């Protein structure tokens, strides 16, 4: 399968980004707010099959010391094809000059990152915004 990767942000269909986020179970995020968030990210990657956006990822960083990989998300029907691995590798490469590169695994996804050599932190904390969020990050990780 021919998969095209790009960091070209101007041609992105934000409705489709919003759909991907919804389809993987992260709930509703508006196309406009997603566009704004991605535009404020130093590094982004989008994966296309033919002309269809099937996955993406981006970073959050301070431009110098700390960088996080966030919103790595692949359409369910295109998962398991190496797309997540590829995008993650590219973003990690983009963040190489930084002091550290971090990410928070979504519940149940630790295995994906550990397989690729990411190391689980033992001292990472999150301020829980809700009981649901607290459970999500303390169970089944
Ligand atoms: C997690 C995710 C990004 C992985 O992307 P992907 O394109 O499906 O993964 P890849 O095809 O690159 O898989 C790479 C390897 O990781 C493995 N893997 C994928 N998900 C895994 C999991 N939850 N636990 C353990 N291994 C996993 C695959 O089996 C594959 O192994 P292989 O190379 O031996 O075949 C993708 O499944 C996804 O978008 N999930 C929903 C959103 C999400 O949770 N994102 C992560 C945010 S922290």
Report yes or no: 55 and 82 within 8 Å, Cβ to Cβ: no
Report yes or no: 48 and 84 within 8 Å, Cβ to Cβ: no
Q: How sure is the predictor about 57, in pLDDT bands with cuts at 50, 70 and 90?
A: very high
The structure's pTM equals 0.94
Q: Which is the closest atom of ligand 1 to the Cα of 86? A: 12
What is the H or E stretch that residue 54 is in? strand 52-61
> What residues does ligand 1 touch, defined as CB less than 6 Å away?
24, 72-74, 79-85, 105-106, 108-109, 111-112, 115
Residue 82 Rama label (left phi>0; alpha psi -120 to 50; beta): left
Please tell me the predicted confidence (pLDDT) of residue 10.
96
Report yes or no: 86 and 1 within 8 Å, Cβ to Cβ: no
Q: Which domains does the chain have, with CATH numbers?
A: 3-103 (3.40.630.30), 105-141 (no CATH)
> What average pLDDT does the segment 27-49 reach?
98
Atom 3 of ligand 1: nearest residue by CA position: 84
Rounded to the nearest angstrom, the distance between the alpha carbon of 79 and the centre of ligand 1 is: 7
Q: What is the pLDDT of residues 39-50, one digit of tens each?
A: 999 999 999 999
């Amino acid at each position: 399968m021919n998969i095209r990767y790009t960091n070209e942000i101007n041609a992105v269909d934000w409705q489709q980004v919003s759909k991907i986020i919804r389809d993987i179970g992260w709930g509703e995020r508006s196309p406009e707010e997603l566009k704004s968030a991605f535009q404020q990210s130093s590094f982004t990657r989008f994966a296309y099959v033919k002309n269809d956006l099937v996955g993406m990822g981006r970073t959050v960083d301070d431009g110098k010391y700390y960088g996080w990989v966030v919103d790595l998300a692949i359409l369910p029907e295109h998962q398991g094809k190496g797309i997540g691995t590829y995008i993650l590798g590219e973003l990690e490469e983009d963040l190489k000059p930084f002091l550290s590169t971090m990410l928070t695994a979504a519940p149940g996804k630790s295995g994906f990152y550990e397989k690729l050599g990411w190391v689980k932190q033992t001292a990472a904390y999150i301020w829980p915004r809700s009981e649901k969020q607290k459970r999500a990050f303390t169970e089944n990780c």
